[in-house]
Amino acid sequence: METVTTQSSTHARGRRWLAALAVGVVLAAGHPAVGQAVPPPPPNPSDEELKSSRWQARKRAGEVGELTNRLAWATARLNRLRDEVARKQELANKARVDAQRAKEKAAEAKREAKNARNASRAAARKLAMAEQAKDEFVAGSYRQGSTIGGLSAYLSSDNPGEVLARAQVLSAVSASQLDAIEKLKKARIAKANADAAARKALQVAEQRKAEAEEAERAAQAAFTEAVEARKSQYSRTAELQAEKQRVATLLWRAQQKVRGLENQRQRYEEWLAAKRREEQLKARQAALNAAGNGGGAAPSGSSKSSNALIEEVVARAMSQIGVPYAWGGGNANGPTYGIRDGGIADAYGDYKKIGFDCSGLMIYAFAKVKPLPHYSGYQYHAGRQVPLSQARRGDMLFWGRNGIHHVALYLGNGQMIEAPQSGMHVRVTSVRYDDILPYATRLIE
């Protein structure tokens, strides 16, 4: 595999060779008598070598596709882990809230049980006082010779046969004594009710206490689960990030490897074209000299090379680094005011900013090459589509397998320049392979 250093050295040698080639053409145009103006030819790989290289490129493209899929899976898994931890954290929060509410209910039930016990004690005291009053009344009635059996029947039974006994009692009992008897009956009822309320309140308190303890255990379990999941997620995140970086590096190396012989053949063809132009210039100059017109040679009329056009496109894009993102902004002349979208862009005030959106930056970059529509989906079809593994400097990269939503300019070496999103600026960054389309678009051949 070619390393970064090797690739950079190859590019440097290529640039020096092209510079020498340009100087040679000038010399040939101005001084036909000079010997060999065009430098020696660069290596020219054979057709068999090119065929083998292209087969390897296709094979590598398949591997790159697999690596890209693995990268997408790793990123999706990472997102699912984050969502799962967030969900468990929210469940822990819910359990803690439930536990707090259960504690409050248990405390309230405990207070009610205490009040019920106090009411039961008060009722017991009143009953004791009523019992004492009753005893005093019985003792007094006995001393007076009253019928006590009728009184006991009155207090303890509702049998109709005791009506006469009741009449006898009423005739022997004073008003204050009857009041004491009535209070005794009420005190007994109040004591029974208070006892029942106390027992019920105690049961509720115990139930609320058990609910609070269960909620507390659930909260602790959910919290522990969330903490463990987060630890696991952090560990897995590190693994996935490392895998992502490794796959991205392999992808970049694959892109570099498939360009080797094709670049050599391209340089050889450029040399061959320059050699032909030199020969044509020499022939034209010789004809002019033979006709006696000596002196000036006809202008070469040569156009810019593909590499020169690519560098001009890149330079135009790079000149806008730091310009704000503005949705709908940018044209062939530079940054413009953004437009309203009724949503996120408006929230960031894009319509008040002068800048570019992603497709607007491409319009400006390629303005001297080809006019482009202000929509990344149409820009994707504006040139020849090449496999992502064969993308080269100056190609456009696209994102959105379910509908194109972003475009950037590839700079080579795994780098790109883009207008990312509202709130950000035009920047150079590493290529993101999440949701990237498997083909790049090439406008300059």
Phi–psi pair at 195, nearest 5 degrees: -60, -45
Q: Has 358 been annotated as catalytic?
A: yes
Bin 207: left if φ > 0, else alpha if -120 < ψ < 50, else beta: alpha
Question: Which of the following is catalytic: 90, 206, 358, 445?
Answer: 358
> Do 347 and 395 contact (CB within 8 A), yes or no?
no
Show Cβ contacts of residue 169 under 8 Å, excluding neighbours closer than 6 positions.
146, 147, 150, 151, 154
CA gap 256, 53 in Å, rounded: 12
Show Cβ contacts of residue 131 under 8 Å, excluding neighbours closer than 6 positions.
184
> Do 392 and 286 contact (CB within 8 A), yes or no?
no
Question: Which of the following is catalytic: 112, 162, 312, 406?
Answer: 406
Q: In what order do the strands lie in the sheet with 384-387?
A: 384-387, 439-442, 396-399, 406-412, 415-418, 427-430
Cα–Cα separations (whole angstroms), residue 369 to 75, 203, 426: 36, 86, 21
Cα–Cα separations (whole angstroms), residue 95 to 61, 90, 202, 220, 347: 51, 9, 25, 8, 36
Q: Has 418 been annotated as catalytic?
A: yes
CA gap 103, 215 in Å, rounded: 9
Q: Per the structure block, which two tokens stand in for 220? A: 């602790």
* 40 secondary structure, DSSP code: P
Q: Has 406 been annotated as catalytic?
A: yes
Question: Which of the following is catalytic: 112, 162, 278, 418?
Answer: 418
- Length of the chain (residues): 445
**Residue reference for tokens 């083998």:** 52
Which among 441, 347, 336, 337 is positioned nearest to 399, based on CA atoms?
A: 441
Question: Distance from CA of residue 173 to its chain's centroid?
Answer: 90
Residue 416: Cβ within 10 Å count: 22
> Do 444 and 310 contact (CB within 8 A), yes or no?
yes
Return the active site residues.
358, 406, 418
